[in-house]
Chains A and B, each alone.
Chain A
Amino acid sequence: MRLAGFYAFAATVALLPALFPDNYFVVVVGASAGLNVILAVGLNLLMGYAGQISLGHAAFFGLGAYASAILTTRFGWPSLLALAAGLIAAGLLAWAFARPILRLRGHYLAMATLGFGVIVHVIMVQATGWTGGPDGLAGVPPLDLFGWEVSGDLQWYGVIMAAALLAVWLSLNLVDSPVGRALRAVHGSEFAAQMMGVDTARAKTQAFVVSALFAAFAGSLFAHQQAFVSPDSFDLTVSVELVTMVVLGGLASTFGAACGAIALTLLQQALVVFEDYEMLIHGALLMAVMIFLPQGLFVGLTQAARRLGSALVRSRPSVAA
């Protein structure tokens, strides 16, 4: 029953729109949450498992989005081909950058990825001829899945959630594979992993490329869903938000990352009603989670539930006696 959690998650995702087919918080916020799940689960492979921080992840998200937007609007490519091109571009870029960047550690790695994100953002803003500049690129055609054009919020919810489930499933399997074990070894201690014969450079590169692919994939979907892309959807704030999702949910747990992504998306929507106090409450809640559940929302809560469960079991005989 390794995938029990996955099936439960899938059932919830499928059941919600059946119950509320035209509810904003299900189909629209749900779709945003789905995209964030893909991004967070991907980033978690790098951060949670391989233990490498990335503050530039929005760049890969943007790369996928702009690849789809530019190739479909300016060159009339079919959307799936553009999506594939975005994946290849992001994968190659991640691979090329991985070797020099992942030699760095700690703050230096954070700085390098931060710089990478900023550079990509500047290109989006400045290369007006290609990207439309700060005002963005409008008129991205709908996603065409072998003749079926995805349109409407409900259909998009379906497509994005299917993609999110695929991402979760891939991540769960990857983590339990030899590659995943190598990654966790790198996280534990890079030296120890090297001593055990793990090619740490290769493991880290793989994690970086895979998480970039996840992000680019989400980006392509995002571009088609919004029919519009602009640089502010891929700036530093977004990168930081992604890191927050992973940490909030619980590092080194696929469901933790997914849970963090959903929680943060919902939180932003829920707190809008507080207007000026929105950021204040937002910050306070994040601090509270980190203080009281340092392992993250998902991991912390499941552990607490387990502890409560075993406490109940232990207390039962004494009641009987």
Chain B
Amino acid sequence: MKRWSNALAAVLLSLTGSGLAQAADPIKIGSFLTVTGPASFLGDPELKTLQMYVDDLNAQGGIKGSKIELIHYDTGGNAKDAVNFVKRLIKNDKVDLLIGGTTTGDTMAVIPDVEKEGIPFISLAGAVEIVEPVKKWVFKTPHSDRMAAAKIFEDLRKRGLSEIALITGDGGFDKSGRAQILKLAPDYGMTLVADEFYGNKDTDMTTQLTKIRSSGAQAIINFGLGQAPAIVTKNIKQLGIALPLYQSHGVASKTFIDLAGDAAEGVRLPAAALVVAEQLPDADPQKPILLAYKNQYEAKHGPVSTFGGHAYDGLLIAVEAIKRAGAADKAKLRDEIESTKGFIGTAGVFNMTPQDHMGLNLDAFKLVEIRKGAWKIVE
């Protein structure tokens, strides 16, 4: 459990001697992330981001004189642990709101408790089912897999391609992405000519790709996380398949380019603006925020990833809402999160409504192409 923010507050108080003036109850933010285990590459930057910004806010005197206390538990990607930790955060630690749930599985598992207890919860997981149908207390900040599918289809349509081959892994992200692609394909006039699978720990996908080569597809879409998409990308190059390859936002990190090497050249994917922050026009209101987050994160922890950005968005949306409503009344806090308007975060501009608990539109995604080992915005 993180009591470090408490300790920091104590040090500050003793230094300034203004303990009495600042004796307001701390605002308790409960967090449960996947910091260890296979999804740790998502949860680790999320936790680092939360810690970094909570420290910052406390150094600036907290929110309206109240310090923020961040209480975190690591779920290791196990839904059962996520449920228990959320109960612990609510019952034992008596937190005011929850930010967390790195994976869709963790998030979906805790929703029954969150709804029953009535506590605002900002999820950091991807699948669209988290906010559709709308759940009263549940919000999310990352782009959904449906948006990723739509963004890819938009670009395919622009290029006049409609026969597509899909290849996905056996993880939750893959399965839910595949479902969205199947669902949206008819709306964009796409026909699926191949639908191949691999295991996320597989080290070679040439068999599936050979089938795709003979399927007459005009483009390949790969939806996945971690190493597997890099292997798919390499295998495509090795087999000499000269079809355009689309990846998902799940690989929008430098690691993917490093893993796939030369083969990544020309790969297109939808990604948060964070990876191309420097290339945005100066007039873009998102640019200063992206650069500030990027610089601050990289100064302390090394290369930035979009996943940490989701935690930044979640925390700051919560902070803005707390400024307006205070943290004492959970229902009021929830209402204020729901009325978030024009909040500029790393994922885009958030406009929440009672019908939309994510509040991002398709513009929030940039379609990027990998050129010479770097991300370039596709015009």
Contacts and interface: CB of A to CB of B under 8 A. Distances in A.
B88 A134 contact: no
Nearest to B90: A24
A24 B175 contact: no
B192 interface: no
A24 B73 CA distance: 15
A32 B84 contact: yes
A134 B171 contact: yes
B301 interface: no
A134 B84 contact: no
Given A125-B170, A228-B112, A272-B73, A133 B87 contact: no
B263 interface: no
Nearest to B171: A134
B102 interface: no
A275 interface: yes
B104 interface: yes
Interface string A90-125: 000000000000000000000000000000000001
Nearest to B107: A135
A135 B105 contact: yes
Nearest to A279: B36
B109 A226 contact: yes
Interface residues of B, number: 28
Interface string B59-97: 000000000000001100111100111011001100000
A191 interface: no
B127 interface: yes
A227 interface: yes
Contacts of B185: none
B176 interface: yes
A269 to B, nearest CB: 8
Given A227-B112, A232-B105, A135 B91 contact: no
A32 B87 CA distance: 12
Contact of B109 (A28, A29, A136): A136
B77 A134 contact: no
A21 to B, nearest CB: 11
B170 A134 contact: yes
Contacts of B92: 23-25
B95 to A, nearest CB: 12
A24 B109 CA distance: 18
B77 A232 contact: yes
Given A153-B87, A226-B80, A230-B79, A134 B172 contact: yes
Contacts of A269: 84, 88
A22 B111 CA distance: 20
A232 B75 CA distance: 12
Interface residues of A, number: 26
B84 A232 contact: no
Nearest to B81: A268
A136 B176 CA distance: 11
B1 interface: yes
Given A136-B79, A136-B109, A24 B87 contact: yes
B73 to A, nearest CB: 6
A262 B175 CA distance: 36
Interface in B197-225: none
Task: Decide if the interface of chain B is mainly helix, strand, loop or mixed.
Answer: helix
A126 interface: yes
A232 B79 contact: yes
A280 interface: no
A201 to B, nearest CB: 35
Nearest to B79: A230
A233 interface: yes
Contacts of A135: 103-105, 108, 127, 129, 172, 175-176
A29 B78 CA distance: 16
Contacts of A28: 84, 87-88, 91
A273 interface: yes
Contacts of A227: 112
Contact of A138 (B80, B84, B111, B176): B111
Interface in B139-168: none
Contacts of B87: 24, 28, 153
Contacts of B172: 133-135
A128 interface: yes
Contacts of A32: 84
Contact of B170 (A22, A29, A126, A138): A126
B88 A232 contact: no
Given A135-B108, A272-B73, A24 B1 contact: no
Contacts of B175: 128, 133-135
Given A29-B84, A153-B87, A233-B78, A272 B1 contact: yes
Contacts of B129: 135
Contacts of A128: 175
A136 B108 contact: yes
Interface string A260-290: 0000000001001101000000000000000
B197 to A, nearest CB: 9
A230 B105 contact: yes
A226 B127 contact: no
Interface string A219-234: 0000000111010110
A25 B175 CA distance: 36
A19 to B, nearest CB: 16
Contact of B80 (A29, A125, A233, A272): A233
Contacts of A275: 1, 74
Taking each of B74, B79, B127, which has the highest tally of chain A beta carbons within 10 Å of its own beta carbon?
B79
A291 B109 CA distance: 38
Given A134-B172, A136-B109, 9 more contacts: A136-B108, A138-B108, A138-B111, A226-B112, A227-B112, A232-B79, A232-B80, A232-B105, A272-B74
The 6 closest A-B CB pairs, nearest first, are: A134-B172, A24-B92, A227-B112, A135-B172, A24-B91, A133-B175
12 contacts: A23-B92, A24-B87, A24-B88, A25-B92, A28-B87, A135-B105, A136-B108, A138-B109, A226-B83, A226-B109, A232-B78, A275-B1
